[in-house]
Amino acid sequence: MFRRSRKKIILSIMLSLVLLFGVTLSVIMLASYHEIRQQSSEMLERYVELYSLDQQPGTGTPPDSAPGNQSLPGLGPKQGDLPPDLMPGFQLSTFYSVAFLVDGTVLTVNNGAKGLYSEDELISIGRELLTKNKTTGRLDNLSYRISSKPGYTLVAFIDDTVTESSMRALLHNVLIIGGASIVILFFISLVLSRRIIRPLEENDKQQKQFISDASHELKTPVAVISTNAELLSRELGENEWLANIQYENERMGDLVKQLLDLSRAENTETPMETVDLSRVVTGEVLAFESVAFDQGKTIQSDIDEEIHVMGNQAQLTQLTSILLDNAVRHGTGSEIELSLKRQGHTAELNVTNDGDEIPAGKLEHLFDRFYRVDEARSSDGHHYGLGLSIAKAVAEKHGGSIAVSSQDGKVRFTVSIPEKNK
């Protein structure tokens, strides 16, 4: 059982580390991409602010001809006009612009220093953007901004080809290096998690071995005390002190038996065979009907026929008995519901009883050894908080699981065991 839990713990640790690393890389990439886009948008906005027909951002030469359908050189902004964080990027960036009159006539075109886009291409793009109801956006590797100026409309672009290529190269390297790092981190976390879990596993193994050894060692003295007490009772007759010895010895015997059952369920390799689980559960329901009747309760059962599992009949009988006994003892209502259904390739056993809602903090400890929800009932009968631990060990021994829920005044235990393939 601990081995299965250990695998889950190791897997969760590894997945957590890998997920943390992956999320960190993703956040770095997204933050970098957002910052570059934001800076590009700010530079384009500043270009639009500085733009004028009298003096265009560009080469530093004022317009030498009247406005018309032609390309005009422009003036670059002075360094004092720009904030320090925009100056280097602004001067190295490539801007394009097209100015349109109200009637759609092209007033002027600036196709940048490198001329990567022809005037006709920029005019065509500008007219296409004017038909859209958007003032900012992106088109391929161009970020654009449309602004109304006195007497004309300006469509300005900034070329993000270099930054986009840089981001793609960065993403490519991050994926390769990050992927390799994740694989390395996976194996490192596997080694570290095993080292972390090993002391816990050894401690759990020693604890189980102690319980098993102590239980076996206690069997003999408990049997001897029981025999001697019986002989004394024949000679002395009714005796208060002797009766107390017999009662406590009987309790100790029951505790030893439960400890041995738990040890066998957790550690012993039990013989497995095809078991008719429907028949096992039906038999236990019949056996507990009289017990429930004495408590003023009834058992309502709904059991599908011919549900077979690969398991140990004695342990499966004990599992069903534990759940029914728990429902009879702790149920506050007059009715106990039991169902055994075929769910896909799984046999699902549900035992439900009325009961006070169990807090979530206690639900998760319900299958711990010696744990009781209500400590006031610790001496109620020969029960020591081991029954549900045994039930969990049996379910896991059969490749299944057990779970509990508590809501709307109902407490439900659900056992799932793989059904045997026909």
Claim to verify: residue 146 and residue 278 sit in the same structural domain: no
Where is the domain boundary, 126, 147, 165?
A: 165
Where is the domain boundary, 165, 198, 229?
A: 165
Residue type, 165: S
Evaluate whether 205 touches 263 at the Cβ level (below 8 Å). Answer: no
Claim to verify: residue 13 and residue 156 sit in the same structural domain: yes
Quote the CA–CA distance of 249 and 245 in Å, as a whole number.
Answer: 6
Within-domain flag for 197? no
Please name which of 223, 228, 231 lies closest in space to residue 252, comparing C-alpha atoms.
Answer: 223
H-run or E-run covering 142: strand 142-149
Stretch 242-264: mean pLDDT: 78
What is the DSSP code string of 98-129? EEE-TTS-EEEEE-TTT--S-HHHHHHHHHHH
Helices (H), 331-416: 360-363, 387-397
Residue type, 207: Q
Distances (CA, A) of 294 to 289, 302, 383, 387: 9, 22, 19, 21
Q: How many other CB atoms are there within 10 angstroms of residue 401's CB atom?
A: 14
Expressed as residue numbers, the domain containing 19 is 2-165
Evaluate whether 142 touches 160 at the Cβ level (below 8 Å). Answer: yes
Claim to verify: residue 290 and residue 407 sit in the same structural domain: yes
Within-domain flag for 203? no
- 292 phi and psi angles, rounded to 5 deg: -65, -40
What is the three-class DSSP state of 67?
A: coil
Instruction: Give per-residue pLDDT as tens, 277-293.
Output: 999 999 999 999 998 99
Tokens of 125: 């793009």
Within-domain flag for 326? yes
Distances (CA, A) of 290 to 296, 316, 339: 10, 21, 19
Whole-number pLDDT of residue 317: 92
**Burial class of residue 265, CB neighbours in 10 A (0-12, 13-18, 19+):** buried
Claim to verify: residue 282 and residue 399 sit in the same structural domain: yes
In the 8-state DSSP scheme, what is residue 59?
A: S
Q: 38 pLDDT exceeds 50? A: yes
Distance of CA 201 to the CA centre of its chain: 24
Tokens of 26: 């993703």
Instruction: Give per-residue pLDDT as tens, 317-370.
Output: 989 998 999 899 888 888 999 999 998 889 999 999 998 888 877 887 788 777
What is the reported pTM?
A: 0.51
What is the DSSP code string of 149-187? ETTEEEEEEEE-HHHHHHHHHHHHHHHHHHHHHHHHHHH
Pairing type for strands 106-110 and 70-71 reads parallel
- 162 phi and psi angles, rounded to 5 deg: -65, -45
Within-domain flag for 236? no
Within-domain flag for 198? no
- 186 phi and psi angles, rounded to 5 deg: -60, -50
Residue type, 5: S
Instruction: Give per-residue pLDDT as tens, 355-411.
Output: 888 887 788 778 877 766 655 444 455 556 678 888 888 898 888 999 999 888 899
What confidence category does residue 223 fall into, taking pLDDT thresholds of 50, 70 and 90?
confident
Number of domains in the chain: 2
Rg (CA), the chain: 40
Within-domain flag for 389? yes
Claim to verify: residue 156 and residue 275 sit in the same structural domain: no
Evaluate whether 172 touches 69 at the Cβ level (below 8 Å). Answer: no
Pairing type for strands 136-139 and 298-303 reads unpaired
Q: What is the CATH number of the domain that holds 327?
A: 3.30.565.10
Within-domain flag for 296? yes
Within-domain flag for 225? no
Where is the domain boundary, 131, 165, 199?
A: 165
